[in-house]
Amino acid sequence: MRPPGDFLHRIGEDGKIVIRSPNWVGDAVMSLPAIQAVRQSLPGTSISILAKPWVADLFRGNPEGCQVIVYESPGNHRGLRGRWALARKLRQERFNSGILLPNSFDSALVFFLAGIPHRAGYNTDGRRIFLTHAVPVNRRIKEGHQVGYYRHLIRSLGFDDSQARPRLRVEVFQKKQAVKKAHALGLEECKEWVGISPGAAYGSAKEWFPERYGELAKRIAAQWNCQILLLGSSSERPVTDRLNPKAPIPIIDLVGRTTLGEAMALISRCRAFIGNDSGLMHVAAALGVPTVAIFGSTDPGRTGPVGETCRVIQRSIPCSPCFKARCPQNRECMERISVDEVFEEVRRIFS
């Protein structure tokens, strides 16, 4: 086992490196400063990002000059046979170094099967045997912010990381394509837009009440004559269906109707964004859009949005943060957050 700080020197000027991205949108966004550090430290090196299909759009052009390889699982890379197929694909690319941002055993196994000579990651989940550069991690690092968690790994490998917060950019042509699609659903470009994402992938304990989002949307539209864009994945449709009847106003419902890249493009044009602790919340913050984040069962100290334009609303009660997917009681932490309070935060953005 080699010392972690030796990793950077092993890559070489003509090396090829592959970085395995996290699997969830929010985690992938929070990994961007770490990936940017690798790019800045190796400006002339070929860097590829291995990413699941639902997060791949985040890395197209972020950072610039990185190739994206899609880990098609579910799909062609599912199961043991699929892992072998992916390993063969990576072997053909002749990578000499690989960095594992997720902690999974599976991610380390794939890099090992691909024959990548130098493989680095945290020494978690019993995968140390597959790593040439295993980075130890303590409780302080684990319980800190997720951005810092990924940055610590990169620093331990010898990279100089100077970017403290995630940053995303969207190309002009991507914005035009996304707006064209939204126009077909009734979007008025002459009005200002406010994005709302009422769902959360992890579970209902992270969700503020849809009826309150509906009332909030109604008040925002009335106050500033703006258009409300509902955004999220198709799995969040049940939440959206509970919101719409409470807000008989011009709402453009895009939940499950956009790719992640299209959602990014639309969010980048918004005057403000309101959402739970979710992937799109992190996307909005990384795009520099003023963001109001509503937290319940999770800890903003670990997964809160990063940036000067971000505002977090949370009510501290004895059982929070509990990190549970479903609240065994009545979501009191969310119950205590009123429409008035969230509306006032939006008012500060508009003023």
pLDDT digits (tens, 9 = 90+) for 213-265: 999 999 999 999 999 999 999 888 888 888 765 556 778 889 999 999 999 99
- Same topology for domains 4-156 and 172-350, yes or no? yes
**Interval 17-72: pLDDT, tens:** 999 999 999 999 999 999 999 999 998 899 999 999 999 999 998 888 899 999 99
Helix boundaries (H) for the chain: 7-11, 25-30, 32-41, 79-93, 105-113, 139-142, 146-156, 172-183, 210-224, 237-243, 260-267, 279-286, 300-303, 332-335, 339-350
Locate 323 and state its tokens: 């990190």
pLDDT tens profile 317-346: 888 888 888 888 888 899 999 999 999 999
* CA distances to 15, 116, 281 from 92, in Å: 14, 11, 37
Q: Tokens for 231, please give them.
A: 């955004």
Kindly state which CATH superfamily the domain 4-156 is placed in.
Glycogen Phosphorylase B; (3.40.50.2000)
Handedness of CA 241, 321, 263, 344 (dihedral sign): positive
CA separation for the pair 18, 99 (Å, rounded): 6
Alpha-carbon span 115 to 94, nearest angstrom: 9
Q: 112-116, 172-176, 209-213: which range is least confident on average? A: 172-176
Rounded Cα distance, 341 and 259, in Å: 31
Fold of 172-350: Rossmann fold (3.40.50)
Taking all residues of the chain, what is their mean pLDDT, rounded to a whole number?
91
Share of the chain above pLDDT 90, in %: 68
User: What residue spans define the domains of the chain?
Assistant: 4-156, 172-350
